Chains A and B, each alone.
Chain A
């Protein structure tokens, strides 16, 4: 990574070269997602659908209140919730990228955007397919429009930071589940296939975010810089909370689902699991100088 003091042409040259490499890889590794998966009729209910250490009850005392069957049942809805978060998140990032492709200021990444949009469309398809086949639904939440920042350069930075943070958090789950031999092969495969494409998207996102930030940072007041950091940290906290969707506890048949969720959130051990999920993106945000420290706020 280059520093913010590196001259613009040099940074741009590096960006062009990296993008070319990522586009070439995307073309080489192109696959047909509609043929890639063999979807079994059903997945067995007497097993975990999410790696134990990724579930929202992991590391708590509360998990001992559940029978093994209840834990498996909950892991099934946690798994469906995870792919649903992907469906929802991809919808948002596609809207943002499509809005910018081949517009002024995005001349260089537009070629990569074509691959990105195509791949995300396919990801959304297989995640939705999984949810509908094995959960009978895609979880969704209330849609409250986030209002764009009045400065388009700041808005661009915020949008691509959100995309990157989302993809990095998802990737933490994908990598773990792809390698977890205790999970069903279909679950491992969905996570593995996604991780392979996302490694390019994340590499791209880090470069783009670094570049957008370097172009902007000199013009920011300390107050504006602070505002960006606080907003993105709240976005991280919000993304982590999404794994505690109240609906999963209800669907798993847990009595007083909201009270159960509240108790989980209050467990200090959950902070450790959450930090593991965001360790890499937090380190990146600190290294680029977008974050001054790695302290996360509550919601």
Chain B
């Protein structure tokens, strides 16, 4: 069973054949691995995996910036 962070990473890798791995602190938004067209779907993925009801209108975009921040905010810090 893959961890949530691994599943999230895999979701991104599936959409970017040119990328082989993503470091925990790599900026997903600045690098456009997640761009404005993919962001809603990405947020839904995090919400489903974490079981947390994410309010689309009041989220902090920075919480989605790196794999580490996503893990800290939605999957309990330092689990890994």
Contacts and interface: CB of A to CB of B under 8 A. Distances in A.
Contacts of B56: 140-142, 246-247
A147 interface: yes
Interface string A223-261: 000000000001101100110001100000000001101
A144 B48 contact: no
Nearest to A259: B48
B80 interface: no
A141 B55 CA distance: 9
A241 B32 contact: no
Residue among A142, A145, A234, A241 with the most chain B CB within 10 A?
A: A142
B47 to A, nearest CB: 6
Interface size class of B (residues with CB under 8 A): 10 to 19
Residue among A146, A238, A242 with the most chain B CB within 10 A?
A: A238
Contacts of B38: 234, 238, 299
Contacts of A144: 29, 35-36, 39, 61
Interface in A124-141: 140-141
A144 B29 CA distance: 9
A144 B39 CA distance: 8
B59 interface: yes
B77 interface: no
A144 B33 CA distance: 13
B62 to A, nearest CB: 11
A238 B37 contact: yes
A237 B56 CA distance: 19
Contacts of B44: 246, 258, 261
Contacts of A235: 37
Interface of A: 140-147, 234-235, 237-238, 241-242, 246-247, 258-259, 261-262, 299
13 contacts: A142-B43, A142-B57, A145-B36, A146-B36, A146-B37, A234-B37, A235-B37, A238-B38, A241-B40, A246-B47, A246-B56, A258-B48, A259-B48
Interface of B: 29, 32, 35-41, 43-44, 47-48, 56-57, 59, 61
Given A140-B57, A146-B36, A146-B37, 15 more contacts: A141-B57, A142-B40, A142-B59, A143-B61, A144-B39, A145-B36, A146-B35, A234-B38, A238-B40, A246-B47, A258-B44, A258-B47, A262-B48, A299-B37, A299-B41
